[in-house]
């Protein structure tokens, strides 16, 4: 049963006199802050910056593919453009997107703590991210990298003379930034929960981030050492991956994908964490099967470490191990399906409203499901041989990453925007942009499934003229998608000044973060809260609001 | 103020504002360090995995490579490092007992032992360089195809080439370990400076304790590296 909750009258809401935004002024108070909310804002700005660069590179790729010959840029320029698009979008946008911004802002609020366990390490992780980002940009400006984001050996170690070492160093820094974020989250969830906040009263957002953090701390160091070995191979010619010295290029693939496959769950689990909150809030119902959803996050993190070889089915791995990895890969579909079904059950008989975050969440569920199901195609050994290295793969992971994670990111940004800034985003235009994003996305990436199935290989600047119609569709869709992403970048800053005052709890959500003023105080809570009810308890909220006199400021 | 002049809100200066109690802060810091060491294990784990695979493939080359290492220096270094772990443990104990002089003394001992280790390591690396056993820097398989030691079994040239993998891993692993030592020794200088101002003998021993964990971790990595790199089929 869902509980009927009436939304509060925002006409009477006022901005609080004191908050984390006006506690201190000046650039130094931001750059040297230990406050997780301010660091989240720093992340939000830097991530948006890198997203714009990565997006422009994507635009260049789509422009090049508008016509069959490689006429816009030289083929090796094209290689550099898609490599940088991948590197920037994965390491500088997708991996930190939700955890470092929304997660950083919310996890202490949700567990009832004053800050993350290690505020200085949190700030350090932002600096490492920025340093990594600058190094990667430097690699791009100095001439780029054309290995693809995968740095495949021996291509990256022996056959290219581009800035592989520089880019690898940038990723190394960004990687440690993500390790420190994960470490902070794990310690915070273990040691900083407020009285009464048991593990099974934690919002699912926290569970999702906990699972993500496990992958971050266990997977990322392996990528770091792998990139170090690649860099050593290029600079001082050690031979771990060099067949002429007895090394094994396939070992690089194993080590790389040992991180990079779990990394795709770093990129999706926080998105799922956001969706759990949004779906529950806008159907005014407890998430169906809370425990199952919580454990499915952990299950995804665990299974995620056991499937890396499915990236290597056509690279000469043993057939028997391929069989095992194919089976394990299909197993990951189970916890993902648990989530999708439980969200659908949450919607069932809920009092659903269609605010912008909910629109994005619906987009997420639809697109992620398509992305996930096409993953099963690719896990099937026979199909994979036909489909791998084609646009089918490109479409598959863009459905999960862009259709899934980016939708979830935007859902989260809109959902918690009132909490972060104290002001509402403009509802009308943001709904339009959610719909535009969805349409643009489908038009961009659905044709790529067809292209891949017809055999168009990825990573080429030119293609046979038969494929042009679908590619024109895709490029047209990309321009619609671009508008969909541009709109929030315009109206969200606008709303900082002109948006309606949000009040404490504009969505009538149950999380601890909604029970305090927006934007919150620097110390989050005036007194440490005591959790005396389950997560997503709308009855409790209804009783609370009945007996409470609203005070603001 | 409570009767008797006790302020219920009084707390030690080292308690950070976002923690509820000293115990919570200490637990968080200690837990954080263990989690960090977990990431460190994974960091070295990549190289250990590579070692395992290549050692299985090229066992004769690994034996030959291992036998060229100086076992006396290696054993000395192991002893030095284990002893430095002891001095570090004693430093933690002195901090707990709030003995400032003793703490500084043991930290300085740890620094000296750490530097001795790095010095010996440097000598060993230089030896390898002189013998043309550094991959990518004038590497020569001569010593393995025509060994000067009469007891050593000569390798076929293609297997002798594989000693490069052994030495690649040797330099990568000991190099990464030495880097951790350099970081550790640098941190020790800071700890000595702060300890001499009495920072860790007033009940706030967390930094010393955590650094101790790090130092022991680096020690343990070496305890694994020593047999894996130096002691392959030494009995011949």
| 3-state helix/strand/coil string of A242-299 | CHHHCCCHHHHHHHHHHHHHHHHHHHHHHHHHHHHHHHHHHHCCCCCCHHHHHHHHHH
Residue A493 distance to chain B (closest CA, Å): 31
Cα Rg of chain B, angstroms: 23
Length of chain A measured in residues: 553
pLDDT value, residue B144: 87
Size of interface A-B (CB pairs under 8 A): 115
Contacts of A247 in chain B (CB under 8 A): 54, 165, 168
Residue B145 distance to chain A (closest CA, Å): 16
Query: Is 0.90 surpassed by the pTM of this model?
Result: yes
Which neighbouring-strand residues pair with A486?
none
Supply the CATH classification number for the domain B63-230: 1.20.120.80
**Higher-confidence position of B101 and B233:** B101
Helix, strand and coil content of chain B, in percent to the nearest 5, comes to 70, 0, 25
Summarised one tens digit per residue, pLDDT across range B120-148 is 999 999 999 998 998 888 888 888 888 88
Residue among B35, B47, B164 whose CB faces A183 most closely: B35
Which neighbouring-strand residues pair with B6?
B2
**DSSP secondary structure string, A391-427?**
HHHHHHHHIIIIIIIIHHHHHHHHHHHHHHHSBPPPH
pLDDT category of residue B199 using cuts at 50, 70 and 90: confident
Cross-chain Cβ contact B43/A217 below 8 Å: no
Q: Does residue A23 sit within a domain?
A: no
pLDDT value, residue A552: 47
pLDDT value, residue B73: 95
Given a cut of 60, is residue B5 above it in pLDDT? no
CA–CA distance, A455 with A385 (Å, rounded to integer): 11
Helix, strand and coil content of chain A, in percent to the nearest 5, comes to 70, 0, 30
How many domains, chain A?
1
Summarised one tens digit per residue, pLDDT across range B148-191 is 877 778 889 889 999 999 999 999 999 999 999 999 999 999 99
**Which candidate in A34, A115, A117, A218 is best for mutational testing of the B interface (most B CBs within 10 A)?**
A117
Cross-chain Cβ contact B39/A183 below 8 Å: yes
CA–CA distance, A324 with A310 (Å, rounded to integer): 10
Residue B205 near residue B96 (C-beta atoms within 8 A): yes
Structural domain boundaries enclosing A97: 33-546
Q: Does residue A27 sit within a domain?
A: no
Any idea what the CATH number is for the domain that residue A371 is in? 1.20.210.10
Q: Does residue A13 sit within a domain?
A: no
Which residues in chain A show pLDDT less than 50? Answer: 1, 551-553
Contacts of A252 in chain B (CB under 8 A): none
pLDDT value, residue A553: 43
| Residue A531: φ, ψ to 5° | -90, 115
Summarised one tens digit per residue, pLDDT across range B14-48 is 888 888 888 889 999 999 999 999 999 999 999 99
pLDDT value, residue B153: 81
Where are chain B's structural domains? Answer: 63-230
Closest-CA residue to A456 (of A446, A468, A444): A468
Given a cut of 80, is residue B112 above it in pLDDT? yes
Q: How many CB atoms lie within 10 A of CB A95?
A: 28
Contacts of A220 in chain B (CB under 8 A): 39
ipTM computed for the complex: 0.91
Mean pLDDT of B100-104: 95
């Amino acid at each position: 049963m869902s509980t009927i909750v009436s939304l509060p009258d925002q006409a009477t809401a006022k901005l609080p006199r004191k908050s984390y935004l006006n506690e201190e002024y000046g650039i130094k108070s931001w750059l040297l802050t230990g406050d997780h909310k301010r660091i989240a804002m720093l992340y939000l700005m830097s991530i948006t910056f890198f997203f714009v660069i990565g997006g422009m590179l994507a635009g260049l790729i789509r422009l090049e593919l508008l016509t069959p010959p490689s006429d816009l840029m030289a083929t090796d320029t094209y290689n550099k453009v898609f490599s940088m698009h991948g590197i920037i979008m994965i390491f500088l946008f997708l991996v930190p997107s939700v955890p470092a911004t929304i997660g950083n802002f919310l996890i202490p609020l949700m567990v009832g703590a004053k800050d993350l366990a290690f505020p200085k390490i949190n700030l350090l992780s932002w600096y490492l991210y920025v340093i990594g980002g600058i190094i990667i940009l430097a690699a791009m400006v100095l001439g780029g990298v054309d290995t693809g984001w995968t740095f495949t050996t021996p291509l990256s170690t022996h056959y290219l003379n581009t800035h592989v070492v520089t880019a690898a160093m940038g990723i190394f820094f960004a990687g440690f930034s993500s390790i420190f974020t994960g470490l902070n989250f794990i310690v915070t969830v273990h040691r900083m929960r407020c009285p009464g906040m048991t593990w099974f009263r934690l919002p699912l957002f926290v569970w999702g981030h906990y699972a993500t953090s496990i992958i971050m701390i266990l997977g990322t160091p392996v990528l770091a050492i792998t990139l170090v070995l690649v860099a050593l191979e290029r600079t001082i010619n050690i031979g771990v991956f060099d067949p002429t010295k007895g090394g094994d290029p396939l070992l690089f693939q194993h080590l790389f994908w040992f991180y990079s496959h779990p990394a795709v769950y770093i990129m999706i689990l926080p998105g799922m964490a956001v969706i759990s909150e949004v779906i529950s809030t806008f159907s005014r119902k407890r998430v169906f099967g809370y425990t199952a959803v919580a454990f499915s996050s952990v299950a995804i993190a665990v299974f995620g470490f056991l499937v890396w070889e499915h990236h290597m089915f056509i690279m000469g791995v043993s057939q028997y191990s391929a069989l095992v990895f194919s089976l394990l890969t299909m197993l990951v579909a189970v916890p993902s399906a648990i989530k999708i079904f439980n969200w659908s059950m949450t919607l069932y008989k809920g009092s659903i409203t269609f605010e912008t975050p909910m629109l994005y969440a619906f987009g997420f569920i639809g697109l992620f499901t398509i992305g996930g199901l096409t993953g099963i195609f690719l896990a099937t050994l026979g199909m994979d041989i036909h489909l791998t290295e084609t646009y089918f793969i490109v479409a598959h992971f863009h459905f999960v990453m862009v259709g899934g994670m980016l939708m979830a990111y935007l859902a989260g940004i809109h959902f918690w925007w009132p909490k972060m800034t104290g002001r509402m985003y403009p509802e009308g235009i943001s709904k339009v942009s959610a719909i535009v994003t969805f349409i643009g996305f489908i038009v961009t990436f659905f044709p790529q499934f067809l292209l891949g199935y017809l055999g168009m290989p990825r990573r080429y600047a030119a293609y046979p003229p038969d494929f042009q119609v679908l590619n024109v569709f895709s490029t047209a869709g990309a321009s619609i998608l671009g508008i969909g992403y541009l709109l929030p970048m315009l109206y969200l800053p606008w709303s900082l000044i002109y948006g309606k005052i949000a009040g404490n709890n504009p969505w009538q959500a149950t999380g601890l973060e909604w029970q305090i003023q927006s934007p919150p105080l620097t110390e989050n809570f005036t007194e440490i809260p005591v959790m005396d009810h389950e997560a997503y308890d709308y009855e409790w909220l209804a009783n609370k609001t009945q007996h409470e006199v609203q005070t603001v400021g | 103020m409570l009767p008797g002049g006790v302020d219920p809100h009084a707390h030690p200066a080292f308690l950070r504002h976002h923690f509820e109690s000293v115990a919570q802060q200490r637990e968080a810091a200690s837990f954080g360090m263990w989690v960090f060491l977990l990431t460190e294990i994974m960091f070295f784990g990549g190289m250990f995995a590579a070692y395992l695979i290549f050692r299985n493939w090229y066992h004769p080359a690994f034996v030959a490579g291992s036998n060229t290492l100086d076992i006396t220096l290696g054993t000395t270094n192991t002893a030095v490092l284990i002893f430095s772990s002891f001095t570090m443990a004693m430093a933690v104990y002195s901090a707990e007992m709030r003995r400032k002089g003793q703490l500084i003394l043991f930290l300085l001992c740890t620094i000296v032992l750490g530097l001795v280790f790095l010095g010996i390591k440097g000598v060993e690396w230089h030896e390898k360089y002189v013998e043309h056993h550094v991959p990518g820097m004038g590497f020569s398989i001569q010593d393995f195809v025509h060994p000067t030691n009469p007891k050593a079994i000569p390798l076929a040239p293609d297997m002798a080439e594989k000693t490069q993998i052994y030495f690649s891993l040797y330099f990568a692993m000991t190099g990464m370990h030495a880097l951790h030592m350099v970081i550790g020794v640098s941190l020790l200088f800071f700890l000595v400076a702060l300890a001499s101002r009495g920072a860790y003998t007033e009940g706030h021993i967390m930094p010393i304790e955590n650094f101790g964990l790090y130092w022991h971790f680096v020690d343990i990595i070496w305890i694994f590296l020593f047999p894996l790199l130096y002691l392959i089929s030494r009995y011949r």
